[in-house]
A and B are shown apart, each in its own frame.
Chain A
Amino acid sequence: MKPAPFDYVKPASLEEALELRRRHGAESAILAGGQSLVPDFNQRLRSTETVIDINGLSALSSIEESQDMISLGAISRYREIETSALVAEHAPLLKMAIPEIGSPAIRNRGTIGGSVSMADPGAELPACLCALGANFELARAGSKRMIAAQNFFTGRYETALDNDEILTRIDVPKNRVGFRSAFHEIARRKTGYAMCGVAAHGKVTHQSVQNLKMVFFGTDDTPMLAVNTISVIEGCAINDVPPAELDAALSEDLHPSDDTHGSAKLRMHYAKVLTRRVLAQFVSAHGEE
């Protein structure tokens, strides 16, 4: 056995889970899909005294629709999101991204709440949820709060989630008329770890892109909204974005570093390539109408 020893509890209700979280705090870990947490235990990158398994909380597994948004329970599995008709219709960006996450065997177990809470800088869904302007519900015993996706991710594997809280729900605004999504990443294998990726969402007309959110992952410690790049793209005709300005803006927005998977220079090159793919996709998507 590889992991350090821990106790295991599987609460039957959210109230019970929150009470356990209140009691154990920093000495507890929430087990959702376990597709990052258990490998971390196996490699002893992480240890804890008490594992709180939230897989018995059926209230956290639903995907529901309200007037303006769809709400995903924190333990919605990648596979469920990938095959959800509601997601396909109202948040197609998520459906585009999920085939890039891990093996199908991983996607059968992994959860959206787990991905968000883990805050892996190479993860797909945090970037998508920032691009879509999603909000997260964080619960603690006796109270709840909402936080915007872009304020949630505070560093590499670091989030605004307190030690006595559990991420319970993710609200994604429904796609509005004229808005398009694009998702691209570069990895060594189809389901491998992204060396660089981008999630984009904006209003696309035959002339331009407006209200654009373009969020990179794999380049910085957190999902990175490319503000300078966005302003270059929004300021030009969609077919006529000047490449030099685009590349200069990307160099200001992103801060990749060298690691064993690739150099900073390579990642920056990928970011430039992916930005062009996003623009090409927006142009062709509009042409289809």
Chain B
Amino acid sequence: MTTEKRLISLSVNGELQAKIVEPRMSLADFLRIELELTGTHVGCESGVCGACTVNINGQTARACTILAVQVEGDEVTTIEGASESGEFRDLQDAFHARNALQCGFCTPGMLMMSAELLTQNSKPCRQEIREYLSGNYCRCTGYEAIVDAVETVAQTRNARVGEQDD
């Protein structure tokens, strides 16, 4: 069966993109193949592992469970865009400092989720961090270091806010 390709236009990391795609192409494949943004990793392709997590219009989403044709007109931010803007440089530094990554496959998704958690809850307890990240698999670290890193960033950000209030 042949299907009609479609022209889609959207913003990715602040840049307007227009491409012709097959309807069955996932957003994850679109980012990786069409735009060569390979920081969005493809693991399970069924929404379970979290490696492909991106941000769409300000909310995290699984790029493997969304068709590229669905994000017409949307604003997508990937790990490349977030790294370049430095919006969660402190999280990246904390992951590095605490060895919260080994192979790095899960890290983009972990960072996207952690960043969203800290915008919604500035003082998460360890249990809340674990629950928020429970849909993201890491097969290297055993998670402890990841939870440490996110907790450290939350505490550092709060201390900074405290200083500003003084």
Contact = CB atoms under 8 A, between A and B. Distances in A.
B43 to A, nearest CB: 12
9 contacts: A1-B22, A7-B23, A38-B47, A38-B67, A39-B64, A103-B47, A105-B50, A105-B116, A109-B61
B134 A191 contact: yes
Interface string B1-44: 11110100000000000000011111001000000000000000
SS class of chain A's interface: helix, strand, loop or mixed? loop
Interface string A33-71: 011001101110000010101010000000000000000
Interface residues of A, number: 34
A35 B65 contact: yes
Interface of A: 1-8, 10, 31, 34-35, 38-39, 41-43, 49, 51, 53, 55, 79, 99, 102-106, 108-109, 189-192
Interface residues of B, number: 36
B53 to A, nearest CB: 5
Contacts of B29: 1
B60 A105 contact: yes
Contact of A103 (B26, B45, B70, B136): B136
Contacts of B22: 1, 5
B81 interface: no
A7 B4 contact: yes
B2 to A, nearest CB: 7
Contacts of A102: 47, 135
Nearest to B52: A105
B70 A55 contact: yes
A204 B2 CA distance: 59
Given A102-B135, A104-B135, A190-B131, A5 B2 contact: yes
A108 B61 contact: yes
B46 A103 contact: no
B88 interface: no
Given A35-B65, A103-B135, 13 more contacts: A8-B3, A8-B6, A8-B69, A34-B66, A34-B70, A38-B26, A38-B65, A38-B66, A53-B70, A103-B136, A109-B62, A190-B134, A191-B131
Nearest to B112: A105
